[in-house]
A and B are shown apart, each in its own frame.
Chain A
Amino acid sequence: DTAVSQTPKYLVTQMGNDKSIKCEQNLGHDTMYWYKQDSKKFLKIMFSYNNKELIINETVPNRFSPKSPDKAHLNLHINSLELGDSAVYFCASSPREAGWSYEQYFGPGTRLTVT
């Protein structure tokens, strides 16, 4: 069984469009994340939700809006896509230990290409 799944795997779209990426985890974890991996392979956290509550919101344009309908799902909606949004987006989940999340379990990634 897939632990963390994301759809779609590839997303090619034009500038100005709105798109969504979906993520689901069946690990029973309380915390979920969105990361962006740039062309230099640097992974940077964008958002984190714990039990449907937003706990981390990094300096991300407000065109990006996460939504967590329940603790097993965290979706990412992007409005007015720009060329610079092209990247691989990873969803991850983690258990919480002693109040702090740590070990991350990643989905396969969504490669977003904006033309």
Chain B
Amino acid sequence: TQLLEQSPQFLSIQEGENLTVYCNSSSVFSSLQWYRQEPGEGPVLLVTVVTGGEVKKLKRLTFQFGDARKDSSLHITAAQPGDTGLYLCAGPYSGTYKYIFGTGTRLKVLA
């Protein structure tokens, strides 16, 4: 059982389309982070959400933290080929030092 489940697992869309990636857990997280990983590289931090209900925007990317701090979403508007990559949610598992990664969403944006 994975503590952080992401959906969809794979997503292939055309340039200009919108998409949403979900990150769900049955546990409460004090914060959640989103990363993007490109082939041959390490994950790169995109954003941290801390407060339940929080919404953060990073250009065409919108991140939301659920009210109960058990889930998060990433919405991309007008996707571009440069958005292609592996998107990972992650967070510190409450009450431990452990840092948990989600199952990942592989996004491919076709020109």
Contact = CB atoms under 8 A, between A and B. Distances in A.
B97 A101 contact: yes
Interface SS majority for chain A = strand
A45 B99 contact: yes
A4 B72 CA distance: 27
B80 interface: no
Contacts of A42: 101, 103-104
A43 B88 contact: yes
A81 B88 CA distance: 29
Chain B contact patch, size range: 20 to 34
Contact of A109 (B42, B48, B88, B106): B42
Interface residues of A, number: 25
Contacts of A27: none
Interface in A97-111: 100-109
A56 interface: yes
Contact of A106 (B30, B44, B91): B44
B45 A105 contact: yes
Interface of A: 4, 33, 35, 41-45, 48, 50, 55-56, 90, 92, 94, 100-109
Kindly list the 8 A-B residue pairs having the minimum CB-CB distance in the complex, ordered from nearest. A106-B42, A43-B101, A100-B92, A55-B97, A41-B104, A102-B92, A106-B43, A56-B97
Given A41-B106, A43-B104, A101-B99, 6 more contacts: A35-B101, A94-B99, A102-B31, A102-B91, A103-B33, A107-B42
